[in-house]
């Protein structure tokens, strides 16, 4: 693929104010007739041709204002349609043919379990018809769909329904009209035999919206939670951002073959069924939380993404970062704020940090790309969300809301840039964001080194901060960032100590503003030596090292008034012990093991919070902290030793607690009930380790009334006692019970893919031949192979190199069918330089095997080449 550069952006010479589409649906051959109203932009020379994008299209006919076009007036290929010297304003009618049944890429129009559906973001619309397929071309769409009535009784598109009726030959049609001008990536069509779950919502101005969720027949009950999440999202956006829904109808469709979580098409969201369908037998608490967050995310896009969209794909974070921030805030309000924040930060560190610290690092607002599909990354989404959070920290919640109001007022109906977005904040809050804006433009995770000292005689506490940023691919020199650090000076009583004044820089509303390379903030009037709690709530997405000692960290883990700060301090303590152990230095663990026992039993803390505190850093967390020459077997052993030490010291407390925490006979998916299950399930793992017996997990499994508990028990059995009858029986029973449910079976694949040890490589190979496995279904491939490569350090990084080979072979098998999925799978090689030399050589060999293959998709080639450089 060609490199696309931000600096080459130029507005289009032609506009398409109106788009009419007629679909004559057929599996082998679907006919699309596009009637486009096209205008040359003012000031553009009449000799400039109209160049439309296409991808794999077969052109049938072409007319301008109803007249067949002469062969000499245009050039058509499957990739482009060029029209020479078109009129200033005209109607272009294009008839093309496409083949949905053989479209395995899941982009454009395809079939998923007998349902026609579309995916157009980022550049899939050009697989449907020739168009100016770029987000700054906003058009009003009218869509007519014709299909066999029996095959597709349901015919959906964006906007409001205007007409429907019967046709000859057992066919029927429906017409939809969307009055809001939109970019082509938000176009959607769905046709098939689906059940509708209906509800309604009354907006803040009193309009009644018709809500529908379309699912496979028989799965209606499983859409109830998503529907509830949708209504709560609609209310929340009104209350928190003053945003009301704008059409008369809002539909969601769940499909089983999808390359992503979901898609925010105007008035017709399309979802991976994994993020709609849920009941206690087939979804874990984690899935319920994800459904709530993703339903909200797609709904929130209606204002942040659809009403105000991106000028070009470099601006992807404009809609994604902002919408992630909004969905995080929604979940924090709906659930438990601190618990949500810890979960989101764990996600950021697990997914975005390794990206930012490896060969695929890129700025939140990149300047160039080869394949835009490869930029739907944790950096654009999660770090993009963190930048919006920092903006709110900088100006405070009241001014933040005022700025967002101004954003909606100023830019509604436009396709804009990050510069436009930042200008709104500068204007609303009267601040200069020129230094802050570097967060969008520089790749890499900033590091802050902290040194504190207390001068008892002068009653002053000094905090010395020094920022640095390691070079990243294509950016050697980094400029200094404005880093907002929420903090507290924690006194002996756990309360934040007062200070009378600060020298050395700006400190306001509990936030230190670090702007220079090195700054010493001196807090005056501090009566007793405090302990610094810094980067509270993860106010900045950075790494920190400090001169705090083990006692300081443990003090904060017990006494910081900020719940996030307590978790962070505990996590740092655990990690430092684990790192020492993984490097072969035996670390003293007693203090922290005792502390964990106290936290577990502390009834003043919510169960969900206690569960998070008790969850040890993962192997991948430890590996990331080690940085280089990682030996995954040593990491695994260090973690298991610490787990055993904690379990052995606290066995009695844990056993009592395990009995006491309500098992949850009556299942409810709310946060408080989920918290209790989480606590009980983390205790199950500790106790099983201590007891060295599968018995407790087997009992837990047979008593389970929901998938959360069942999955927790199954994990203990398969991961800790894999070669016992209990584990084998549990897997066989599960398969018998849930064999017909694809989403529940994904969990069955997942639990086996994460069993530690190299033997799992063979297990995965065997499971890839299982009748329930399908290489064409992204959910199944992700459950088995992506999980194996991303969440099983000891197997994926097996010293033999077989784990790398398995991933490389799978990537090559998937690529010809679904390049996006293949590229995503291949990103699991991104940390290959951090393992020891022997493993590095094997990983490199696997990557080279992929790279040397002819005919790779541009998506996969882009990832592999960047990973190797």
Asked if 133 interacts with ligand HT7 (CB under 6 A), we say no
Closest approach of ligand HT7 to the CB of residue 262, in Å: 6
- Closer by beta carbon to ligand HT7, 370 or else 401: 370
Nearer to ligand HT7, 301 or 710 (CB): 301
> By CB under 6 A, is residue 621 in contact with ligand HT7?
no
Question: If contact means CB under 5 to 8 A according to the sort of partner, which of ligand HT7, Zn ion, none does residue 257 touch?
Answer: none
CB of 272 to ligand HT7, least distance (A): 9
Peptide bond connecting 122 to the previous residue in cis, omega within 30 degrees of 0: yes
10 Å Cβ neighbour count for 501? Answer: 10
DSSP secondary structure string for all residues of 406-427? HHHHHHTT-EE-HHHHHHHHHH
Using CB under 6 A as the binding rule, whether residue 364 contacts ligand HT7 is answered as no
Among all chains, which residue has been given the structure tokens 């294509």? 474
Q: Which of 826, 816, 763 has its CA nearest to residue 789?
A: 826
Q: Which of ligand HT7, Zn ion, none binds 472 (CB below 5-8 Å, type-dependent)?
A: none
Element (H, E) at 638: helix 632-649
Residue 298 contacts ligand HT7 per CB under 6 A: yes
Nearer to ligand HT7, 297 or 710 (CB): 297
Q: 3-state DSSP call for residue 262?
A: strand
At its nearest, how many Å lie between ligand HT7 and the CB of residue 383?
A: 14
Query: Smallest distance from the beta carbon of 318 to ligand HT7, in angstroms?
Result: 12
Site residues for Zn ion, 307-336, by CB under 5 A, read 320, 323
Q: What does 121 interact with, of Zn ion, ligand HT7, none (CB < 5 to 8 A by kind)?
A: ligand HT7
Concerning whether 244 is annotated as a catalytic residue, the answer is no
Residue 252 Cα distances to 283, 454, 760, 788, angstroms:
19, 58, 38, 31
Q: Which is nearer to ligand HT7, 186 or 864 (CB)?
A: 186
Classify residue 465 as left (phi > 0), alpha (psi -120 to 50) or beta.
beta
Closest distance to ligand HT7 from the beta carbon of 469 (Å): 27
271 binds ligand HT7 (CB under 6 A): no
Nearest-angstrom CA–CA distance, 297 and 293:
6
Side-chain-side CA neighbours of residue 49 (13 Å): 13
How does 171-188 read in b/e, with b if 16+ C-beta sit within 10 Å? bbbbbbbbebbbbbbbbb
- Residue 119 touches which of ligand HT7, Zn ion, none (CB < 5 to 8 A by kind)? ligand HT7
Contact 788, 796 (CB under 8 A): yes
Q: What minimum distance in Å lies between the beta carbon of 170 and ligand HT7?
A: 33
CA-based torsion, 607, 610, 616, 621: positive or negative: positive
CB of 297 to ligand HT7, least distance (A): 6
Interior CA angle at 46 toward 43 and 48, to 5°?
Answer: 95
Residue ranges in 574-613 that form contacts with ligand HT7 under rule CB under 6 A = none
Give yes or no for residue 557 binding ligand HT7 (CB under 6 A): no
Rank residues 664 and 778 by Cβ distance to ligand HT7 and give the closer one. Answer: 778
User: 718-777: which residues touch ligand HT7 (CB under 6 A)?
Assistant: none
The interface partner of residue 373, options being ligand HT7, Zn ion, none and the CB cut-off 5 to 8 Å by kind, is: ligand HT7
394, interface contact from ligand HT7, Zn ion, none, CB < 5-8 Å by kind? none
Q: Which of 178, 320, 633, 649 binds ligand HT7 (CB under 6 A)?
A: 320
The nearest distance, CB 12 to ligand HT7, in angstroms, is: 22
In the complex with ligand HT7, which residue's Cβ is closer, 53 or 264?
264
CA angle 637, 642, 646 (to 5 degrees): 150
263 belongs to the binding site for ligand HT7 (CB under 6 A): yes
Rg (CA), the chain: 28
Site residues for ligand HT7, 774-833, by CB under 6 A, read 820
Query: Closest approach of Cβ 53 to ligand HT7, in Å?
Result: 16
Q: Are 37 and 157 in contact (CB under 8 A)?
A: no
Q: Which of 130, 176, 260, 711 touches ligand HT7 (CB under 6 A)?
A: 260
Nearer Cβ to Zn ion, position 323 or 793? 323
Q: How far is the CB of 157 from ligand HT7 (least distance, A)?
A: 17
Q: Which residues contact 201 (CB under 8 A, 6 or more apart)?
A: 208, 209, 211, 230, 231, 234, 235, 245, 250
Q: Which residue's CB is nearer to ligand HT7, number 497 or number 823?
A: 823
> Considering the rule CB under 6 A, would residue 121 count as an interface residue with ligand HT7?
yes
Query: What does 572 bind: Zn ion, ligand HT7, none (CB cut-off 5 to 8 Å by kind)?
Result: none
Q: Which stretch binds ligand HT7 (CB under 6 A): 63-71, 262-270, 415-423, 701-709?
A: 262-270
- Return the residue of 182, 280, 297, 362 that touches ligand HT7, per CB under 6 A: 297
Task: Judge contact between 148 and 157, C-beta under 8 A.
Answer: no
Task: Give the x/- contact pattern for Zn ion in 261-300, rule: CB under 5 A.
Answer: ----------------------------------------
In the structure encoding, which two tokens stand for residue 759, read together?
């033997």
Is residue 264 involved in binding ligand HT7 (CB under 6 A)?
yes
Residue in 463, 342, 443 with CA at minimum distance from that of residue 384: 443
716 binds, among ligand HT7, Zn ion, none (CB under 5 to 8 A by kind): none
Position of minimal CB gap to ligand HT7: 260
Q: How far is the CB of 205 from Zn ion (least distance, A)?
A: 26
Nearest alpha carbon to residue 835 among 844, 825, 823? 844
* 8-16, 115-123, 188-196, 552-560 -> range binding ligand HT7 (CB under 6 A): 115-123
With contacts defined by CB under 6 A, name the span among 296-304, 572-580, 612-620, 662-670 that binds ligand HT7. Answer: 296-304
Query: What string of DSSP letters covers 146-183?
Result: EEETTT-SEEEESSEEEEEEEETTTEEEEEEEEEEEE-
SS3 68: strand
Total residues interacting with Zn ion, rule: CB under 5 A: 2
Name which of Zn ion, ligand HT7, none residue 376 binds, using a CB cut-off of 5 to 8 Å depending on partner kind.
Answer: ligand HT7
Take residue 59 and report the two structure tokens written for it.
């052109």
Burial (CB count <10 Å: 0-12, 13-18, 19+), residue 44: middle
Per DSSP, helices labelled H in 412-503 are: 418-429, 438-441
Residue 389 three-state SS: helix
Cβ–Cβ < 8 Å for 127, 151? no
Pick the stretch among 176-184, 295-303, 568-576, 801-809 that binds ligand HT7 (CB under 6 A).
295-303
CB 122, min distance to Zn ion, A: 12
Strand order through the sheet with 262-263: 195-202, 208-215, 249-255, 268-272, 262-263
Show the tokens assigned to 47: 């000799």
119 binds ligand HT7 (CB under 6 A): yes
Instruction: Look at residue 730 and give the partner it binds from Zn ion, ligand HT7, none, a contact being a CB closer than 5 to 8 Å depending on partner kind.
Output: none
In the bound state with ligand HT7, the residue whose beta carbon lies nearer, of 369 and 555, is 369
CB of 274 to ligand HT7, least distance (A): 13
Question: What CA–CA distance (Å, rounded) separates 287 from 261?
Answer: 12
How many beta carbons lie within 10 A of that of residue 516, not counting itself? 12
Q: Which listed residue (298, 355, 625, 726) is catalytic?
A: 298
Q: Which of 376, 487, 523, 738 binds ligand HT7 (CB under 6 A)?
A: 376
* DSSP string for residues in 71-94: GGGEEE-SSEEEESS--SEEEEEE
Quick one: tokens of 707? 């998938």
Instruction: Please state, in angstroms and rounded to a whole number, the distance separating the CA atoms of residues 614 and 608.
Output: 10
What positions carry a catalytic annotation? Answer: 298
Which residues make up the interface to ligand HT7 (CB under 6 A)? 119, 121-122, 259-260, 262-264, 297-298, 301, 320, 373, 376, 820
Which residues make up the interface to Zn ion (CB under 5 A)? 320, 323
């Amino acid at each position: 693929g060609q490199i696309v550069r931000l600096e080459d952006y130029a507005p289009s010479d032609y506009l398409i104010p109106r788009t009419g589409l007629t679909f004559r649906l057929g599996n082998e051959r679907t006919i699309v007739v596009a009637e486009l109203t096209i205008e040359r932009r003012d000031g553009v020379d009449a000799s400039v041709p109209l160049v439309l994008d296409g991808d794999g299209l077969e052109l049938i006919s072409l007319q301008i204002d109803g007249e067949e076009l002469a062969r000499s007036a245009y050039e058509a290929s499957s990739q482009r349609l060029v029209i020479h010297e078109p009129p200033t304003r005209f109607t272009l009618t294009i008839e093309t043919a496409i083949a949905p049944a053989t479209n395995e890429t899941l982009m454009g129009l395809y079939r998923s379990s007998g349902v026609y559906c579309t995916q157009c973001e980022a550049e899939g619309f050009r697989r449907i018809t020739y168009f100016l397929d770029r987000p700054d071309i906003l058009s009003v769409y009218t869509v007519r769909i014709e299909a066999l009535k029996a095959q597709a009784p349901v015919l959906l598109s964006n906007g409001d329904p205007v007409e429907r009726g019967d046709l000859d030959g057992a066919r029927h049609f429906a017409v939809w009209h969307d009055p809001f001008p939109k970019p082509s990536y938000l176009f959607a069509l769905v046709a098939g035999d689906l059940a509708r779950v209906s509800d309604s919502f009354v907006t803040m101005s009193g309009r009644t919206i018709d809500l529908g969720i379309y699912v496979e027949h028989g799965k209606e009950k499983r859409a109830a939670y998503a529907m509830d999440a949708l209504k709560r999202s609609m209310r929340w956006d009104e209350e928190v951002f003053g945003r009301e829904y704008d059409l008369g109808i809002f539909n969601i469709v769940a499909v089983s073959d999808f390359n992503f979580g979901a898609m925010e098409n105007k008035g017709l969201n399309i979802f991976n069924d994994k993020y709609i369908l849920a009941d206690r037998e087939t979804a874990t608490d984690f899935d319920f939380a994800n459904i709530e967050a993703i339903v909200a995310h797609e709904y929130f896009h209606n204002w942040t993404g659809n009403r105000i969209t991106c000028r070009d794909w470099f601006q992807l974070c404009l809609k994604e970062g902002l919408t992630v921030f909004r969905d995080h805030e929604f979940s924090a309000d709906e659930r438990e704020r601190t618990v949500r924040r810890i979960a989101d930060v764990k996600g950021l560190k697990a997914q975005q940090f390794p990206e930012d610290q490896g060969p695929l690092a890129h700025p939140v607002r990149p300047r160039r790309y080869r394949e835009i599909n490869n930029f739907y990354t944790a950096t654009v989404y999660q770090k993009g969300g963190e930048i919006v959070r920092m903006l709110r920290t900088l100006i405070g919640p009241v001014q933040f809301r005022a700025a967002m109001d101004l954003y909606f007022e100023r830019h509604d109906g436009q396709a804009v840039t990050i510069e436009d977005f930042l200008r709104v904040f500068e204007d609303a809050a009267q601040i200069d964001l020129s230094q802050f804006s570097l967060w969008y433009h520089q790749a890499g995770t900033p590091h802050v080194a902290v040194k504190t000292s207390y001068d008892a005689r002068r009653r002053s506490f000094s905090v010395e901060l020094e920022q640095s940023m390691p070079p990243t691919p294509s950016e050697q020199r980094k400029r200094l960032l404005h880093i907002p650090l929420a903090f507290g000076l924690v006194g002996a009583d756990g309360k934040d100590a007062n200070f009378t004044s600060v020298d050395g820089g700006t400190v306001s509303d509990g936030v230190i503003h670090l702007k220079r390379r090195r700054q010493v903030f001196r807090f005056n009037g501090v009566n007793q030596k405090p302990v610094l709690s810094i980067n509270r709530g993860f106010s900045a997405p950075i790494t920190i090292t400090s001169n705090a000692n083990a006692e300081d960290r443990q003090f904060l883990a017990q006494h910081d008034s900020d719940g996030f700060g307590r978790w962070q301090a505990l996590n740092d303590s655990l990690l430092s012990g684990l790192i020492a152990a993984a490097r072969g230095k035996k670390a003293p663990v007693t203090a922290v093991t005792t502390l964990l026992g106290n936290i577990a039993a502390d009834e003043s803390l919510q169960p969900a919070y206690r569960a998070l505190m008790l969850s040890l850093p993962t192997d991948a967390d430890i590996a990331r902290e080690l940085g280089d020459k990682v030996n995954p077997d040593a990491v695994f052993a260090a973690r298991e030793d610490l787990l055993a030490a904690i379990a052995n010291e606290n066995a009695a407390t844990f056993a009592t607690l395990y009995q006491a925490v309500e098992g949850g006979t009556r299942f409810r998916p709310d946060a408080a009930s989920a918290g209790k299950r989480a606590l009980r399930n983390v205790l199950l793992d500790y106790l099983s380790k201590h007891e060295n017996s599968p018995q407790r997990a087997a009992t837990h499994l047979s008593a389970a009334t929901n998938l959360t508990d069942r999955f927790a028990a199954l994990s203990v059995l398969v991961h800790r006692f894999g070669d016992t009858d209990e584990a084998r029986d549990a897997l066989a029973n599960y398969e018998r019970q849930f064999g017909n449910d694809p989403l529940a079976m994904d969990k069955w694949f997942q639990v086996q893919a994460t069993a530690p040890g190299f033997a799992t490589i063979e297990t995965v190979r065997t499971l890839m031949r299982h009748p329930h496995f399908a290489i064409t279904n992204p959910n199944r491939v992700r459950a088995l192979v992506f999980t194996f490569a991303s969440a099983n350090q000891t197997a994926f990084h097996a010293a033999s190199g077989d784990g790398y080979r398995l991933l490389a072979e799978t990537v090559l098998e998937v690529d010809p069918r679904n390049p996006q999925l293949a590229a995503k799978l291949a990103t699991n090689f991104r940390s290959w330089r951090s393992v020891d030399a022997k493993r590095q050589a094997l990983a490199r060999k696997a990557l080279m095997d992929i790279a040397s293959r002819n005919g790779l998709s541009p998506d996969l080639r882009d990832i592999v080449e960047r990973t190797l450089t």
